Amino acid sequence: DADRLSATTDNQFILDLMPQHPIYVDLLPEDARAVIGQCHDAGRGARALLEWEGFTFSDVVDIFDAGPLLGVSRDAIRTLRQSRQVQVSAGVPGESARRALLARPETRGFRCVATRAVAKEGVAIVEAPALATLGLDPGAQALIWLSDAD
């Protein structure tokens, strides 16, 4: 609910909910202190994915649930570091295709699709529907990230 409200209002409600005075963690019951900075079971998979990408616990907790806030500098994000620019070609990638993320290279109008691709010598072969989804023509430049595992 808080996320929905923050996306659809001026966020005044967040200021209204914030404590007016500091919260002294040492004065909280032990069971409350034990969960500060811990991830809820439902979020463990998301946290594992973020950590795989290079995110780390920032020693800051969420104001609503005291869950961990993770952060990373943009240039340290694994998928971004391992991506490269290629020229795209429409075709059938074949048996050697790997799972891939294919994206428009510019920030404005950014789009990304999950697909299968073969990339070598600066050219990536992907199926035409992936290019159409991105609004790219064969011969255009794109960013590609290829999975190590299939």
The Cα 43–Cα 132 span in angstroms is: 34
Residue 51 half-sphere exposure toward CB, CA atoms < 13 A = 12
* Residue 21 appears among annotated catalytic residues: no
The Cα 132–Cα 95 span in angstroms is: 22
DSSP H helices in the chain: 2-8, 12-17, 30-35, 44-53, 78-82, 128-134
Q: Which two tokens stand for residue 38?
A: 């811990």
The answer to whether 91 touches 125, Cβ cutoff 8 Å, is yes
Identify the active-site residue in 6, 13, 40, 56: 40
The Cα 141–Cα 115 span in angstroms is: 16
Positions marked catalytic:
40
